[in-house]
Amino acid sequence: MALLEARNLSISIRRGKKYYTAVDGIDFRINAGEIIALAGESGSGKSLTALSIPGLLPSRAKIAGGEILYSSNMVIDLCKTDEKSLRQIRGKEISMIFQEPRQSLNPLMKVGAQITEALELHRDAAIDSAQNKKTANKLAANLLALEMLEKLQFQQPEKIMDAWPHQLSGGMCQRVMIAIAAICRPLLLIADEPTTALDTANQNHILELLKQINRDFGTAILFISHDISMARHFCSRFMVMYSGRIIEEGPSEAILSSPLHPYAIALAASIPCKENKGKPLANIPGRAPPLEITLPGCHFAPRCPRAQEQCKKSMPQLVEAGNGHYVRCFFTEGTNV
């Protein structure tokens, strides 16, 4: 049994008085302790997918169908779990790192208080034999927070604990967000574009820290990104999303070195590399269809160089091309799958 499995998951967004499908019947699984990537351009539905897992969808969005089965002590459907039960899971067993650390951190709380808050809420630092449990819990939580900051390579963790968010750099704020997300040693960590606002050096640093958490705690990681080049040495499996559907899935190396779907091929070709130095990067003409427009066939067909009449009339199924590599396309490298 997977740690988490989505079955036929659909998410709708309200625009005006109508709801439109933003994530359309996707299936995926995350195994305990693995790192899996979900990639795609802005608007593909990857962030909505991530937010649906811990029950953090915005008010204008809703789960329209399907299941999100989470297996810890028992199997539960997160789509049907009440808010009180979700709060017991969120932050403790399933944590999330958001795109913008400065916007996610509370500017009116010191860093230390924000890191220890999750511990105090979930009582992971409880010392039941202590006379003054509240004081004991706070001291234990502070010690665990200091240990986590040291693990995340802060040179002066005590100083960081006493700092306000505005006193830290973007990279430091992101490491604080990782500390908050990892402090309870969750089973699943969802990292939604955690390196977007950082320079290359800080991006690599954050990826190494996430790897370390995966190794040390056995935490599974769902890594959301529009930059597929980051996944080659970071994620074991890779899912490519386009217009609300997963259009290719498989081992990371296979997706990046031998992609099958025309969209995934274009994404891989857009990665800068030494071999293409001085040459223009590949680009994908056009844009994904807006939510208000429902196409009967493949949503990528209007932009696809291989599109034929069949592609415009019917949606291809996600089928296995071999060795755990799946693709949603009628025509891959000239072969009818």
Low-confidence ranges of the chain (pLDDT < 70): 123-136, 275, 333-337
| pTM for the predicted model, two decimal places | 0.91
Q: Given phi > 0 = left and psi -120 to 50 = alpha, else beta, which region is 323?
A: left
Helix, strand, or coil here: 140? helix
What does the pLDDT look like over 180-199, one tens digit per residue?
999 999 999 999 988 877 78
Cβ partners under 8 Å of residue 327, min gap 6:
247, 248, 249, 260, 261, 264, 318, 319, 321, 337
pLDDT attached to residue 100 = 83
Q: What contacts 18, CB < 8 A, 6 or more positions away?
A: none
The pLDDT, as a whole number, for residue 168 is 94
Tokens of 176: 């604080």
Q: Determine phi and psi for 207, rounding to 5 degrees.
A: -60, -40
What is the model's pLDDT at position 1?
A: 72
Residue 298: what pLDDT? Answer: 95
Helices 133-151 and 111-122 pack at an angle, to 10 degrees, of: 120
Beta strand 245-251 pairing with 325-327: antiparallel
- Predicted confidence at residue 123, as pLDDT, reads 58
Residue 133 confidence (pLDDT): 56
- pLDDT at position 333 is 58
The CB-based long-range contact list for 26-31 (8 Å cut-off, 24+ gap) reads 26/66, 26/241, 26/244, 26/245, 26/246, 27/246, 27/318, 28/239, 28/246, 28/249, 29/2, 29/4, 29/5, 30/2, 30/3, 30/4, 30/5, 30/188, 30/220, 30/222, 31/2, 31/3, 31/220
Q: What is the pLDDT of residue 201?
A: 83
pLDDT at 125 (0 to 100):
40
**Of all helices (H) and strands (E), which one includes residue 173?**
helix 170-182
The helix/strand/coil state of 195 is coil
- Cα angle 330, 335, 337 (rounded to 5 degrees) comes to 45
Angle subtended by helix axes 133-151 and 170-182, to nearest 10 = 130
Per-residue pLDDT at 134:
58
Q: Rounded to whole angstroms, how far apart are CA atoms 78 and 157?
A: 36
Angle between helix 170-182 and 200-217 (nearest 10): 10
Q: What is the dihedral of CA 169, 175, 178, 184, to 10 degrees?
A: -120
The residue with tokens 């709801």 is: 19
* Local structure of residue 276 (DSSP, 8 states): G
**C-alpha–C-alpha distance, residues 192 and 124, integer Å:** 25
DSSP tag of 230: G
Burial (CB count within 10 angstroms: exposed 0-12, middle 13-18, buried 19+), residue 100: middle
Calpha distance 47→41 (Å, rounded)? 11
